[in-house]
């Protein structure tokens, strides 16, 4: 039976005596006052090997009774006995924090957790966030930087690392995070995120100059200027309530469009526009590190009226360098589909990047919700393409789009049979996903 500290839970004694705590058929007796916590649990694990579920229940009951010294001793001895589980490092760090153990000791436990769980980038990001929770900011920043080396095109390490770097005043980490954001971060609100990175970098440059580190400040300014270079930027703009779609076929065989807004060639469709609001009538494609070769721009008239049946295509090459070029081409819609070809001679990309993580569903969801909403009339079914214009009083209805977020490993395979039925093309896509943050918000009308 379990005895010892005052206020022990009688249910714990009953379960121990009956064997329910450690599995059926066992009758283990633990005297918590037979010695120090370390002695008690060393003796226990020398004679017993409880199941993972029983071990979890045992530690949970000890934690509920606030026997934190015994929690730490039990977990330590379980680890020594080779019965480690991922949650043990979390509970051990929590108990150490409750009992006032030194911060370096807590941080060492958290880093052990990282060694146990950080087998890929998503787990590394989760572990770094856990380090931040316990105040191990420097170690978390190191882990974010390590994650960016494994997956340079992922935007999360830079965004999360910038906050920590600014808090620590680490100019080297600020340079890494700000340049990473400017190069690899392209969500729908990328301008705001890029401006934040530029502001942090500018403040750091000012601080470095004040303390006399002018050379270091110049290096940071040069790195930021280099990160702002863009090999190719394409903007398609128009007037009117209609909608145009831009698709870019890239030299390395990838295709960038609204259903695949980011490609392994570095191209990103950062804005998918539609009318009638003029400030939203544009499509924007950006490729910071583009491959040299020919790009095929396919422009499709999807819906509605385009003023003058004309659009403007602005092509900018080598943005931010002394070789910068800008050309404007009118696009006349004498047919629903138009094709424009352009060449890029000095692209900096030579090969495809690593497989991209699945991006947030906000882009596709926004597009689906926008299209469905734009054609929805109150009290009437959805209209056919080309007839979606709101009510007579100007109201527009929107239907919510609910998306499911999956976590873990998924594999999809797409088979396409050729017209003569002689060939089958298989596209296999393996996805490793992990949810690292959840933000809550409310809608207001």
Q: What is the pLDDT of residues 178-192, one digit of tens each?
A: 999 999 998 878 899
How sure is the predictor about 12, in pLDDT bands with cuts at 50, 70 and 90? very low
pLDDT for the residue numbered 440: 58
Sign of CA dihedral 253, 258, 261, 267: positive
Contacts of 161 (CB under 8 A, 6+ apart): 141, 144, 145, 148, 173, 176, 177, 180
361/65: higher pLDDT: 65
Structure tokens at 219: 């290096």
Per-residue pLDDT tens over the stretch 293-324: 999 999 999 888 899 899 999 999 999 999 99
pLDDT above 50: residue 277: yes
CA 150, 178, 188: angle at the middle one, nearest 5?
85
pLDDT for the residue numbered 283: 94
Residue 258 CB-density burial (10 A; 0-12 exposed, 13-18 middle, 19+ buried): middle
How sure is the predictor about 372, in pLDDT bands with cuts at 50, 70 and 90? very low
CA 167, 110, 35: angle at the middle one, nearest 5?
135
pLDDT above 70: residue 441: no
Per-residue pLDDT tens over the stretch 60-78: 888 888 888 888 888 888 8
pLDDT for the residue numbered 163: 92
């Amino acid at each position: 039976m379990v005895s010892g500290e005052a206020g022990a839970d009688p249910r714990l004694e009953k379960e121990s005596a009956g064997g329910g705590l450690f599995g059926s058929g066992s009758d283990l007796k633990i005297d918590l006052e037979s010695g120090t916590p370390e002695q008690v649990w060393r003796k226990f694990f020398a004679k017993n090997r409880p199941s993972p579920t029983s071990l979890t229940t045992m530690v949970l009951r000890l934690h509920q009774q606030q026997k934190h010294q015994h929690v730490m001793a039990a977990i330590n001895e379980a680890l020594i006995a080779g019965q480690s589980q991922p949650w043990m490092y979390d509970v051990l760090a929590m108990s150490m924090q409750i009992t006032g153990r030194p911060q370096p000791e807590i941080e060492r436990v958290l880093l052990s957790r990282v060694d146990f769980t950080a087998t890929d980038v998503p787990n590394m990001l989760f572990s770094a966030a856990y380090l931040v929770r316990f105040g191990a900011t420097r170690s978390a920043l190191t882990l974010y930087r390590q994650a960016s080396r494994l997956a340079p095109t992922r935007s999360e390490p830079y965004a999360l690392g910038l906050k920590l770097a600014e808090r620590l005043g680490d100019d080297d980490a600020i340079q890494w995070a700000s340049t990473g954001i400017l190069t690899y971060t392209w969500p729908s609100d990328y301008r705001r995120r890029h401006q934040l990175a530029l502001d942090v970098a500018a403040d750091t440059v000012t601080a470095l100059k004040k303390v006399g580190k002018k050379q270091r400040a110049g290096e940071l300014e040069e790195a930021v200027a280099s990160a702002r270079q863009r090999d190719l930027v394409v903007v398609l703009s128009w007037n009117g309530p209609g909608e145009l779609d831009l698709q870019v076929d890239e030299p390395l065989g990838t295709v960038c469009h609204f259903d695949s807004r980011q490609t392994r060639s570095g191209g990103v469709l950062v804005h998918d526009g539609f009318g009638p609001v003029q400030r939203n009538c544009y499509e924007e494609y950006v490729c910071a590190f583009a491959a040299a070769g020919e790009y095929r721009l396919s422009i499709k008239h999807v819906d509605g009226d385009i003023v003058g049946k004309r659009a403007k295509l602005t092509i900018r090459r080598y943005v931010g360098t002394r070789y910068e070029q800008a050309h404007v081409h009118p696009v006349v819609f004498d047919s629903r589909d138009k094709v424009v070809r352009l060449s890029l001679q000095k692209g900096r990309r030579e090969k495809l990047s690593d497989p991209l993580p699945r991006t947030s569903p906000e882009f596709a969801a926004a597009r689906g919700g926008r299209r469905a909403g734009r054609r929805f009339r109150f009290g009437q079914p959805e209209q056919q393409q080309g007839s979606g214009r709101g009510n007579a009083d100007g109201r527009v209805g929107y239907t919510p789009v609910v998306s499911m977020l999956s976590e873990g490993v998924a594999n999809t395979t797409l088979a396409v049979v050729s017209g003569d039925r002689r060939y089958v093309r298989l596209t296999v896509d393996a996805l490793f996903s992990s949810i690292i943050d959840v933000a809550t918000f409310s809608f207001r009308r």
